[in-house]
Amino acid sequence: MTNSSTAPAAESKDLTHGGIPSGAPEGVPSPEPHKHHSKAPAKLNAATLKAALPVAFQKLDPRQMVHSPVMFVVLVGAAACTIISIVKPDVFGIAVTAWLWLTVLFGTLSEAIAEGRGKAQADSLRESRQGVTAKLRLEDGTTREVPGTDLRLNDVVICQAGDVIPSDGEIIEGLASVDESTITGESAPVIRESGGDRSSVTGGTKVLSDRIVVRITAEPGETFIDRMIKLVEGAVRQKTPNEIALHVLLVSLTIVFLVVTMALAPFASLADATPSPIVLVALLVCLIPTTIGALVPAIGIAGMDRLVQHNVLATSGRAVETAGDITTLLLDKTGTITYGNRRAVNFFPANGVEQDQLIAAARLSSLADETPEGRSIVELASARGMDGPDLAGLRDTSTDITIVEFTASTRMSGVDLDGRLIRKGAASAVGNFVTDAGGRLPAEVQRRVQEISAQGGTPLLVAEHTHDGGARVLGTVHLADVVKPGMKDRFAELRKMGIRTVMITGDNPVTAKAIAAEAGVDDFVAEATPEDKLDVIRREQGEGRLVAMTGDGTNDAPALAAADVGVAMNSGTPAAKEAANMVDLDSDPTKLINIVGIGKQLLITRGALTTFSVANDVAKYFAIVPALFTAAFPGLGLLNIMGLASPASAILSAVIFNALIIIVLVPLALRGVKYRAVSANQALGRNLLLYGLGGLIAPFLGIKLIDLVLSLIPGIG
C-alpha cells in the first residue's frame, strides 16, 4: 500500500523552513503528551436513584413498554396477577404480584438511571444558551440585536471580545481567541480564524479577544449543543444493527416460552396437576430473558454516555457500535502519531568548521524566527552554552542589520549583519544560495542530509556569504518531529485486537517509512492526496474490512464520508463535520483510538450480560419445574438439587431473584465490562468462563439464600 507517488501533499499548512507543518510552541526539552479532559459520569447513589424513580414510573406507560416486548410481557403478567390477587387474595399470590411489578420497575429504572446520568450535563449545556443575544448584520451593513435562538441558516453575526457565540457557524472575517471550556472542559483558549481548517466555531463558546464575523451554519434546534443535549438525555438514541439482532432474538425466545407456558396447563391437567394462573405467569417471567431485556436500553445509553464523557458527539448510535468492529484505522501522522512541531535536536558542522561557529550562526539566523523550529534552535544553542545578545541587543550594537524573512519561494530565512549574510533553510535552497556565489555543497554535508531524512528528521542547512565575497556551508541542523510516548504500545494493543493501522502523511516516502517504523504502524501512505485517502478506504472496504479515520479539512470530507467511522475535529471545517458521523469536541486526533475502545466495550458489555442472562435461567428451571410437578410426579423431586423448602417458596424465590438481579447488574451495565486488548476468541472464552459460569452459579446461591429467608414466613415456607 505504501504510496511512492510524487504528487504534492494535499493538505495546505503553514510552511516553515523545511516546508513542513508548523504548530503551537512546545516546552523544553520535549513536549508533554496531551492530557485529555473527560467528564466524570454521575455516580450511582441515593440522589441518582431518587431523581430516576419518577422517570421509571412514567416509563411504565404501556405505550412506551410495548417497544420492549420482553418487559411488556412482564407488565401484562403483573397486571393479570394483580386482578387475580384482588379477586382471590392470598399471601403467595400477593407476594408474586408485588415482585413482578418490581421486576418491571427495575427494568424501567435501569433505563431512567442511564438517561439521568446525562441530565446534569444537559442542564449545564442549556444554561450556556440561555439569554444569549446576537449582533445580526443586516443587508445594509448595520447591526441589530436579536435572541440567539432566532438565528437562521446563513445569517451573519458579529462577535467581539466578551461575546458568547450565539450558534454554530463559520468565521468569514477576522481572527479571535475563543474560550471553549463550556463545551470541552478545557480552560486553555484556542485560536479560530477565517479560511483554512480552523474556521468553525460552536454556539455557547466565548470570544476572548478581537472581532470576528460569523456565518451561521445550523438551524435552531440543530446546533451541536442541541444535538449533544438530545444525545446525553437519550432522546434520539437509535437502535444499532447488533441491538436490533439481539432484540429479534429476545422476542423469539419470549414467543417460544410463551407458547410452552400456555401448553403446560392442558398437559398438566391430564395428571391433575394444573398450576394456577399466577404460577404460570411466574414461570413465564422466569423463563423469558428478562435480565438482558431490562438492561439493553441502559447498555446502549451508557455507551453513548461514555462517548460524551470523552467529549465526542456521535450523530448516530450505529457509528458507536461500528467503532467496536473496526478492522482498519487510518491515522494522520502530524499531530496524531507525532507532536507536529519539529524541534532542533543536534548541530553537525561541516568539515573545517568549528561547532561553535555553526551554533552561533544558526542562532543568529533564528533570532527573528518566531516559528517553533526557529525558537527551538535558539533554545538548543543556549543549552549548548552559546548565549549572546537578543535581536534588540544586536540592533543596538550593529550599524548594518537586516532581517530576512522566510518565504515559500526562497525557503530560507536569516540575517544580514555588518556585510555578513547568514541563511538557514531547506537543503536545496541553501545549496543554491552557496553555489550561486561560487561556493559548493560539501559531499559530507549531502550525506548528513540523507542520513537525517532517512531517520525521519528534517535537515536545515546553515550557510554564509563572507565579507570577501566567499560562500560556504557551515553545517546542518537536525530537526525531529517526535513520536508521542506510548504510541508503539497502543498500536501493539490494536494489533492484538485485530486492528490494522495505516499512517497517512504528506511526507516523502523515506521520512514516512522512518516514522512508521518508530511508531510501530502496520503500513503507511506517503505524499498522500485526498484521492489517495479515498482509494485506501475503498480498497480496505472492498476486502471486507471496516475502516475508521480522522480529519479536519474540507479535503478530508470525501474520505470521512466514505469511512465506516469518520471522526471530524470540532476545530475543522463545516464540510468535514457534516461528512463525519462523529465530532471530537476536543479536536484531539488520537481520540479515535479511545473511540474504538468505547465501541468494543459496548459490544463486550452487551455480549457479557446476554451470556449471564441466558445462563441465569438454568437455575430457575431447577427451582420452578420441581415445584410445579413434584406432587404429580414424585420422581421430579430429584431435580430439587437446591433443597428448597416448599413449592411456594421455590417459585417466589426464583421470581424475587429474577427481579433483584436486574438492579444488581445496573452498575455493570452503566460502567461497562472492563475492556482488554485481546483477540475475539480470547474475549469470547473469557466471557463464557466469567459471565457464563458466573451466570450459572449465581442463581443457585441467590435462590437458595432467598428460600432460607422465605421459609420462615407463614403461608409461604
Share the mean pLDDT of the chain.
80
pLDDT for the residue numbered 84: 94
pLDDT band, very low/low/confident/very high, at 197 (cuts 50, 70, 90) = low
* Cβ-contact 599, 321 below 8 angstroms: yes
Any binding-site annotation on 407?
A: yes
Tell me the average pLDDT across 515-525: 89
Residue 46: other Cβ atoms inside 10 A: 7
* Cβ-contact 229, 122 below 8 angstroms: yes
Query: What type of residue is 85?
Result: S
Any binding-site annotation on 50?
A: no
pLDDT for the residue numbered 71: 93
Q: How far apart are alpha carbons 139 and 112 in whole angstroms?
A: 48
Tell me the average pLDDT across 171-189: 76
39: pLDDT strictly greater than 60: no
589 or 175, which is more confident: 175
Q: What are 36's strand-pairing partners?
A: none
Q: What is the pTM of this model?
A: 0.63
Any binding-site annotation on 304?
A: no
Please identify which of the residues 163, 168, 332, 507 carries the catalytic annotation.
Answer: 332
13: pLDDT strictly greater than 60: no
95: pLDDT strictly greater than 90: yes
Q: How far apart are alpha carbons 292 and 512 in whole angstroms?
A: 48
Tell me the average pLDDT across 345-364: 91
Q: Which residues contact 18 (CB under 8 A, 6 or more apart)?
A: 342, 373, 411, 425, 426, 458, 459, 460, 479
Q: What are the start-end ranges of the E strands in 378-438? A: 401-404, 412-417, 420-426
For CATH 3.40.1110.10, the residue range(s) in the chain are 341-482
Residue-wise pLDDT for 581-617, tens only, equals 888 877 776 777 888 888 888 888 888 888 898 888 7
Question: Any idea which of 183-192, 343-352, 541-550 has the lowest mean pLDDT?
Answer: 183-192
Question: Any idea which of 264-278, 535-549, 659-673 has the lowest mean pLDDT?
Answer: 264-278
> 173-182, 618-627, 696-705 — which one is most confidently predicted on average?
696-705
695 or 225, which is more confident: 695
Please name the residue ranges forming H helices in 166-240.
181-184, 224-232
pLDDT for the residue numbered 646: 84
CATH superfamily of 341-482: Calcium-transporting ATPase, cytoplasmic domain N (3.40.1110.10)
Any binding-site annotation on 523?
A: no
Cell of 642: 437446591
Give yes or no for a cis peptide into 714 (omega within 30° of 0): no
Q: How are strands ordered across the β-sheet holding 420-426?
A: 343-349, 471-480, 458-465, 420-426, 412-417, 401-404
235: pLDDT strictly greater than 50: no
Cell of 234: 437519550
Residue-wise pLDDT for 464-514, tens only, equals 987 777 789 999 999 887 777 788 888 888 888 788 899 888 777 877 888
Least Cα distance to 460 among 352, 518, 380 occurs for 380
Q: How far apart are alpha carbons 620 and 290 in whole angstroms?
A: 12
Fold assignment, 325-337+484-585 = Rossmann fold (3.40.50)
pLDDT for the residue numbered 626: 77
Phi-psi map region of 204: left, alpha, beta (phi>0 left; psi -120 to 50 alpha)? left
pLDDT for the residue numbered 512: 83
Distance (Å) of CA 474 to CA 376, 437, 469: 19, 15, 15
Residue with cell 542520513: 451
Least Cα distance to 431 among 443, 423, 442, 441 occurs for 441
Q: How big is the chain by its Cα radius of gyration, in Å?
A: 34
Q: How many residues does the chain have?
A: 717
Any binding-site annotation on 410?
A: yes
For CATH 3.40.50.1000, the residue range(s) in the chain are 325-337+484-585
pLDDT for the residue numbered 630: 67
Give yes or no for a cis peptide into 8 (omega within 30° of 0): no
Report the SS3 class of residue 178. Answer: strand
* Cβ-contact 430, 350 below 8 angstroms: no
- Our answer to whether residue 532 is catalytic in this structure is no
Question: Any idea which of 93-102, 579-588, 622-631 has the lowest mean pLDDT?
Answer: 622-631
> 41-50, 370-379, 469-478, 634-643 — which one is most confidently predicted on average?
469-478
Any binding-site annotation on 369?
A: yes
Q: Which residues contact 700 (CB under 8 A, 6 or more apart)?
A: 619, 622, 642
102: pLDDT strictly greater than 90: yes
Any binding-site annotation on 222?
A: no
